[in-house]
Structure 1
Amino acid sequence: MPNPTSFTVHNKSRTIEIGFDDGVTFHIPLELLRVYSPSAEVKGHGPGQEVLQVGKRDVELRDLQPVGNYAVKPTFSDGHDSGLYTWDYLYDLGARQEQHWVNYLARLQEAGFEGDSGRAPGTVLPGAAPKSHGCGHQH
């Protein structure tokens, strides 16, 4: 697996930029990091135990701590801080970002939270119809 060569947090655009030694650089939205947290709180304790995360469009990063030479531990603005993001996991989130977004948005829609989340306001996924953020829920 490739190792990271650079890691930058972009607070204004709410993304991380992570470069790997295979020459690939990913820009991963903080929302995607948060909703795909590898913590037991989000992933559950087995298949089918995942907890759908909603209202995370505007999540920010409050802190980011290295964990050895293999992971980082972020603290998000909603207080979530129990996920350890290994370099392999971050690489997968970056490399399969479109698939992860499509899966997440489908799960939101199935649960009745259509329009609750997405990338940045106004950004539309390939094949998705534009939707307004006025979903009528409290966030």
Structure 2
Amino acid sequence: MKLPTSIELKKKSRLLAIEYGSDRYELPFEFLRVFSPSAEVQGHTPDQAKLQVGKRDVDVLEILPIGSYALQIKFSDGHDSGIYSYDYLEELGKNKDSLWQAYLEDLKAAGASRDPNDPANKRFEEPPKKKCPSHH
């Protein structure tokens, strides 16, 4: 595993800048949120992956190191379950353009949008989870 030589959170430009030696990647917050490695986003198998819609304005609230191998990123929409290994972040950096293009094509095919206020995105929202009555 390659460790990053530099990690910088750029709040104004909404980027995570990460360097691996001479390789530097700038990963937009929306991109990181859309490609979260969490099971909530990716599913447990590829056919369970959930298309992420309306994430254009998502912000990063906090980044926490996980041991010496990963980062946990807390997003403004409440998502914080993805553990981004340094290897995964490097893969995202190397493949950013093709991943982003495929994501935009998936959004278009689904009739969805990056815009958080787009009514077309409503059908992708999870129904609220029912609380189980407490057993005494």
Scaled by the length of structure 2, what TM-score is found? 0.83
Structure 1 equivalent of residue 31 of structure 2: 32
Q: Deviations over 1:47-103 (max 9, x none)?
A: 211001111011101111000000000100000000000001000100000011011
Question: Which ranges of structure 1 fall in alignment gaps of 5 or more residues?
Answer: 118-132
Distance 2:74 2:105 in 1: 26
1:136 CA drift (Å): 7.6
Distance 1:3 1:136 in 2: 38
1:2 CA drift (Å): 2.8
Moved more, 49-58 or 1-10: 1-10
Query: Which letter does structure 2 place at the counterpart of 1:39?
Result: S
Distance 2:79 2:45 in 1: 20
Structure 2 equivalent of residue 81 of structure 1: 80
| 4+ residue segments displaced more than 6 Å | none
Distance 1:80 1:137 in 2: 20
Greater share of helix: 2
1:72–1:136 distance in 2 versus 1, CA, 3 Å: closer
Question: Which ranges of structure 2 fall in alignment gaps of 5 or more residues?
Answer: 122-136
Scaled by the length of structure 1, what TM-score is found? 0.81
RMSD: 1.7
Secondary structure at the counterpart of residue 48 of structure 1:
helix
Q: Percent identity?
A: 46
